[in-house]
Amino acid sequence: MKTAWIVVADEAIARILEQPAGGGELLPVENLTDPDAHIREAEMRHGPHGRRAGGATVSAADSERHQHAQLFAARVAERLAEALRQGVYQTLHLIAAPRMLGYLRKALPPSVAAAIASEQDKDLVQASPAELARRLAQARP
């Protein structure tokens, strides 16, 4: 059996857990955070409000928030690629808020994308390891 990493993420936090090769409880590996995700919206506004983008009005803060989330996803993807190169894990399970899952998909290099065993578009970043293990077991065929 292969060592699996489980990444549970939203736009501010990415928790990495490990399911050892022999099975058993999910063990915490590390937490990555994006401090910019917690900046107050007023602090993000550097330009005019209400920019037009693609026919819809988008506030400057929303645009910057998405950019920060994409940079955070790239940082998470870089960490996952490094660990895969080192042979720390062989399979990967992604559980992320829908928008963050999309950002992660775009940021993951092909080698990491090939290691993905399952994906869930759920915001479960606050779920316990036991709850995450239960959800992973339910998602498996």
Q: DSSP code of 140?
A: -
What does pTM read for this prediction?
0.81
Superfamily grouping for domain 4-139: eRF1 domain 2 (3.30.420.60)
∠ CA 3-86-114, nearest 5°, is 65
**How confident is the prediction along the chain (141 residues), in pLDDT tens digits per residue?**
689 999 999 999 999 999 987 777 899 999 999 877 656 444 544 444 444 444 444 455 568 888 889 999 999 999 999 999 999 999 999 999 999 999 999 999 999 999 999 999 999 999 999 999 999 888 765
Instruction: Report yes or no: 59 and 47 within 8 Å, Cβ to Cβ.
Output: no
How high is the pLDDT of residue 54? 45
pLDDT at 86: 97
> What's the pLDDT score for residue 50?
46
Residue extents of the structural domains in the chain: 4-139
Q: In terms of C-beta density within 10 A (0-12 exposed, 13-18 middle, 19 or more buried), how is residue 99 classed?
A: middle
